[in-house]
Structure 1
Amino acid sequence: MAVLNVSFCSSTLPPNPKPPLSFHKPLLLSVTPQSSLCYRTPQGLNQIGPPQNLILSLGESVAKASFLALISASLCFADPALAFKGGGPYGAGVTRGQDLTGKDFSGKSLIKQDFKTSILRQANFKGAKLLGASFFDADLTGADLSDADLRGADFSLANVTKANLSNANLEGALATGNTSFKGSVITGADFTDVPLRDDQRQYLCKIADGVNPTTGNDTRETLLCS
């Protein structure tokens, strides 16, 4: 049985590294604490080491290509570019930067969901739990956010025009930058501690009415309307 110490890390690592491995009898691949493994992503070379006890046992019939594929598969989970591309319980790679026009998310638990830069026109979020969700730079034109729990949600730079926010709870939500609520329905919405621009606050105060059924707070009072 052969024992081979391997270090894939090198500033000159070729695009498709081919370590000089021999496959005769069953092979034990051992990486020492002084060794380290690298893998390549579109962003460049990444190091994940030094591993302590990486041991792969291969049978006599395993080809070199299969072995390299096995190593690649075992390292993919550590690729930071793949680790977070959507986030939240609805699934990575699904809701961030996507065209989700008209999608039905009503009643779903979407806590800390990432909808950054997504197109969410006429999307249905009625009664959804969206605590800490991010709608940064998203297009929510005509979306239904009624009865939604939006505490701590991020609407920075978002287009929330003509949306239905009736009875929504936006306590502590962010609305910085050029966030716009023009044409939206806010009856019974709770805007407690939402840092609105003066022009947006003045606009919302002109149409504000109702009391939030969950918090019991008057919409006009949460907007600090005079």
Structure 2
Amino acid sequence: MALLLNLNVSLSSKISQKPCLCLSTPHPPQCSLRRYHAPQALNKNHLEGSPSLIYSLGESISRATLLALLSASLFVVDPALAFKGGGPYGSEVTRGQDLSGKDFSGRTLIRQDFKTSILRQTNFKGAKLLGASFFDADLTGSDLSDADLRGADFSLANVTKANLTNANLEGALATGNTSFKGTNITGADFTDVPLRDDQREYLCKAADGVNPTTGNATRETLLCN
């Protein structure tokens, strides 16, 4: 019995000498005034011998958990902000938008995403649109003259009455029901553009000029007879 008493007194003395987590007010008598300093070593006996230490430690863990959750929340991206633009060079949201009459002339919009957008009377004159997507977009009356459209996707797009004068469309896509009705293609380069026979036949009727960048004649790039 005496041995057990001495052990408890010795243990209590050791705990009281350790700085604990003084989070409550007023501070427990055995706590150091140094805040937020945990004991150097905690074991089962220490915790059993000091209720105030257990309370302080529990409160510290709760606060630490809350701070961790708040910090983590700062790195969670709002899904609505995840799509900043259609491509690595574009800062605007351009997919599925009504951008009629907008001025993108001379802009660098490589791989920009204009899928399903309304682009009537939009100005793309001289713009760099390599790999841009105009899939199912409405480009009626748009100005694409002198634009670099290599590898661009015009699948299912409405390019009616647009201006493709001197545009470079090498390797562009025009599959599906793409319409070039009434479009000015003077000097446009259609090298390696897959076209339906009826599209090619229609474009060949209006094909003329030589592309100033590639030096290729429009009729030759369309494989006109």
What TM-score, normalized by structure 2, do the two folds share? 0.69
CA contact (8 A) 1:165 1:189 kept: yes
CA distance in 2, matches of 1:86, 1:155: 19
Letter in 2 for 1:28: A
Gaps of 5+ in 2: 1-20, 22-35, 37-56
Give, in angstroms, the shift of residue 75 of structure 1: 1.9
Deviation, 1:210, is 0.1
Normalising by structure 1, we get a TM-score of 0.69
Q: Percent identity?
A: 78
AA in 2 matched with 1:107: G
Return the letter of the residue paired with 1:100.
L
CA distance in 2, matches of 1:197, 1:76: 44
Q: Please give the residue correspondences for 1:2-151 in structure 2 after superposition, counting only pairs within 5 Å.
A: 24-25=59-60, 27-29=63-65, 57=67, 70-76=71-77, 79=79, 82-84=81-83, 86-88=85-87, 89-91=89-91, 94-151=93-150
Mapping 1:162-173, distance limit 5 Å: 162-173=161-172
The residue number in structure 1 matching 2:40 is: none
What letter is aligned with 1:176?
T
Unaligned runs of 5+ in 1: 3-21, 30-55, 59-66
Q: CA 1:25 to 1:102, structure 2 compared with 1: closer, same or farther past 3 Å?
A: same
Number of residue pairs the alignment of both structures matches: 169
Q: Aligned equivalents of 2:224 and 2:81: distance in 1?
A: 45
Structure (1 or 2) with the greater helix fraction: 2
- Structure 1 consecutive aligned stretches of length 4 or more whose deviation exceeds 6 Å: none
Corresponding residue SS for 1:90: coil
- In structure 2, give the amino acid aligned to 1:156: S
Which structure shows the higher strand fraction? Answer: 1
Match of 2:8 in 1: none
Q: What is the DSSP-based 3-state SS (H/G/I as helix, E as strand, rest coil) of the residue aligned with 1:28?
A: helix
Shift of 1:74: 1.6
Counterpart secondary structure, 1:162: coil
